[in-house]
Chain A
């Protein structure tokens, strides 16, 4: 059985705003019938202020699809259309106190219904910008289509590459067989063969030569600038998930960072830290440890 939060269950058992909104002047129909979810969102928008005065939903779908629809209508009522468009699927999931990874697409459907309804109100065409594939990585909710596209766009060759670019496979590693299959298929299209030993990132910890060269090749200032640059380069990826990271301090080989937004307290935070650490190790060419700033020694934190 799914591990639904109490809020999900409550919204499923007692959905808010079920049915068509009265005097609705915007409609968004989205979903995928084959995967069993479809949602019609209706809005009553005040033409003067563009404020959403009422919202209603009709959903063909599972418990979390109904709960996500209900949450969406509650969140956007009273908002202007522009503000409503800033509501992300993570906001819907947060409102419901989280959704299982397999069910995150229910919150995506909510956000898309909203985009479709706003487009309808404004007389624009709305086209869905993504296709959903089978869920491969359950730790980070990454599907096959995204992995395939990323492999193609970036010429990825190994499971490690895929983990760096999409996070897929960076957690419990159970999906590595699935990722290898996708790599095999995509590489075959280009007439290449998947080679599990190809271009793997050298294991820095066990190769002291790299470690020494890397560590000695930079001044302290250069090193910190490099760390800043790496963290800066990782921010867009985290921001896409409504999270963020900032550099707090560097003490020897230990780098302290603050995770904020959706990353803060998220169960994936520690895995995300692992990903940042991995990238820093590669870029610096020496071993470093990345820890949350909360674990900084008291005296160093300036108390």
Chain B
């Protein structure tokens, strides 16, 4: 098989070979339990300590003890939100946004069933929030605000620092799901009012199955998993040592490459977007291009459906992802696209290209060449399309029964 072009790094990333190398001894000779009172465990304990410091440095956290290793971003999100509710039983409201990842949204929907009041902040057509709406909702009834730092589908960046300040002034805990932002946006948490923050290892070239919850010192906390004294009793369960070591190394590399991500990767992304927009009519960029992760661009191709686009891209070895309903098996297109009021005929054809530092400009040029013929091919099959343009008044010309 030819080497594929991987532009789906917001889904998951390749584990950096340097990280694999760093991890290997912890599967073999360094197999000890860090809690054990012997030499086998002792060295592993030191390795975890080092990893904690590496993550601390990437986040700009004040103390390394503010880093709690978990199993994934979802666990970190659940831990943060449920902890805030448990620690403040007198508060029964949550503020979040309509465009969160399912890790937060599905939990919030469940909490609603259990009697909590959840406020979902809406977004405008660029996917941005109305901070005055947010300000009005902050009250002493709110247990926690949970707002993503950057959106996984569009790359749109929310003003997490400012929103944390506002929450702090109102005496409300602030959590941010930063799984897409960490390693791409420089952070200095010690100078912020962010109380809790979630990381997912596999989004920054560490393996799957490892995450972090940053917990500011002094924030009232209740663990999700109780048991042994691991992570100072804040997350019981034997440490996933090899992956913790891997995540530490990944954090170190992410810090080293922060500039590269924001300059070189961003330039490749810009070239990709420009190349596609120049050659494919009836397409547009979704989200907020002026406030966006350096590696992400999401383009909606009108009158065609995303899964079909992905299958044809995949045939040429190009990997991306889509906000179409069909790729997830649900009946609705991406909630993020719908929240931005993107019409169905475009939402289903939205494609996310997410790059990493392992992509090259040569790959980008290949993708720019491959995309336009695919759109022509699929539009030929579309009932909304006629020749080289959409049919006149497409939504009227083709209005199927039970739409």
Does B333 sit at the interface, judged by CB under 8 A?
A: yes
Chain B window 340-355, contacts with chain A (Cβ cutoff 8 Å), 1 for yes, 0 for no = 0000110010000000
Cα distance A63–B380 when bound, in Å? 14
Known A35-B332, A60-B345: A40·B381 in contact at CB below 8 Å: no
Choose one: B308, B315, B330, B401; the contact of A66 (CB below 8 Å). Answer: B308
Q: Which residues of B contact A134 (CB under 8 A)?
A: 330-331
Does A172 sit at the interface, judged by CB under 8 A?
A: no
> Which B residues from 378 to 403 make CB contacts under 8 A with A?
380-384, 398-403
Does A24 sit at the interface, judged by CB under 8 A?
A: no
Does A159 sit at the interface, judged by CB under 8 A?
A: no
Choose one: A38, A126, A133; the contact of B383 (CB below 8 Å). Answer: A38
Listed residue (B304, B305, B306) with the most chain A CB atoms within 10 angstroms of its CB? B305
Does A39 sit at the interface, judged by CB under 8 A?
A: yes
Pairwise interchain contact B401-A61, C-beta atoms closer than 8 A: no
Known A29-B400, A29-B401, A60-B305: A34·B331 in contact at CB below 8 Å: yes
> Which B residues from 293 to 344 make CB contacts under 8 A with A?
303-308, 311-312, 315, 324-327, 329-333, 344
Pairwise interchain contact A58-B400, C-beta atoms closer than 8 A: no
Does A287 sit at the interface, judged by CB under 8 A?
A: no
Choose one: B306, B345, B383; the contact of A29 (CB below 8 Å). Answer: B383
Pairwise interchain contact B380-A18, C-beta atoms closer than 8 A: yes
Pairwise interchain contact A61-B400, C-beta atoms closer than 8 A: no
Whose C-beta in chain B lies nearest to the C-beta of A132?
B331
Cα distance A128–B403 when bound, in Å? 11
Pairwise interchain contact B329-A59, C-beta atoms closer than 8 A: no
B contact patch SS: loop
Cα distance A61–B400 when bound, in Å? 13
Q: How many residues of A contact B (CB 8 A)?
A: 41
Pairwise interchain contact A58-B382, C-beta atoms closer than 8 A: yes
Pairwise interchain contact A29-B398, C-beta atoms closer than 8 A: yes
Q: Which residues of B contact A18 (CB under 8 A)?
A: 380-381
Does A208 sit at the interface, judged by CB under 8 A?
A: no
> Number of A-B pairs whose CB atoms are under 8 Å?
111
Cα distance A29–B401 when bound, in Å? 6
Whose C-beta in chain A lies nearest to the C-beta of B330?
A134
- Return A270 CB to nearest CB of chain B, in Å: 24
Pairwise interchain contact A38-B398, C-beta atoms closer than 8 A: yes
> Which A residues from 130 to 174 make CB contacts under 8 A with B?
131-135
Choose one: B307, B325, B329, B403; the contact of A31 (CB below 8 Å). Answer: B403
Pairwise interchain contact B330-A33, C-beta atoms closer than 8 A: no
Pairwise interchain contact A15-B383, C-beta atoms closer than 8 A: no
Known A33-B400, A128-B401: A62·B307 in contact at CB below 8 Å: yes
Q: Which residues of B contact A302 (CB under 8 A)?
A: none
Chain A window 28-52, contacts with chain B (Cβ cutoff 8 Å), 1 for yes, 0 for no = 0111111111111000000000000
Pairwise interchain contact B311-A63, C-beta atoms closer than 8 A: yes
Pairwise interchain contact B305-A36, C-beta atoms closer than 8 A: yes
Does A102 sit at the interface, judged by CB under 8 A?
A: yes
Choose one: A12, A36, A64; the contact of B348 (CB below 8 Å). Answer: A36
Does A116 sit at the interface, judged by CB under 8 A?
A: yes
> Which A residues from 1 to 32 make CB contacts under 8 A with B?
9, 12-13, 15, 18-19, 29-32
Does A81 sit at the interface, judged by CB under 8 A?
A: no
Q: Which residues of B contact A36 (CB under 8 A)?
A: 305-307, 324-326, 333, 344, 348
Choose one: A38, A63, A65, A112; the contact of B403 (CB below 8 Å). Answer: A38
Cα distance A30–B403 when bound, in Å? 8
Listed residue (B304, B324, B331, B344) with the most chain A CB atoms within 10 angstroms of its CB? B331
Q: Which residues of B contact A128 (CB under 8 A)?
A: 401-402
- Return A145 CB to nearest CB of chain B, in Å: 11
Chain A window 194-210, contacts with chain B (Cβ cutoff 8 Å), 1 for yes, 0 for no = 00000000000000000
Whose C-beta in chain A lies nearest to the C-beta of B382?
A60
Choose one: A32, A40, A61, A102; the contact of B305 (CB below 8 Å). Answer: A61
> Which B residues from 278 to 294 make CB contacts under 8 A with A?
none
Choose one: A30, A63, A133; the contact of B402 (CB below 8 Å). Answer: A30
Q: Which residues of B contact A38 (CB under 8 A)?
A: 383, 398, 400, 403
> Which A residues from 44 to 80 make CB contacts under 8 A with B?
57-66
16 other contacts beyond A32-B331, A34-B325, A62-B305, with CB at 8 A cut-off?
Answer: A29-B383, A32-B400, A36-B307, A36-B344, A39-B400, A40-B383, A40-B398, A58-B382, A60-B305, A60-B348, A62-B327, A63-B326, A65-B305, A112-B401, A128-B402, A131-B402
Could you show 17 A-B contacts with beta carbons less than 8 Å apart?
A18-B380, A19-B381, A30-B402, A31-B401, A33-B345, A34-B333, A34-B403, A35-B326, A36-B326, A36-B333, A60-B382, A61-B308, A62-B305, A65-B326, A131-B402, A133-B331, A135-B329
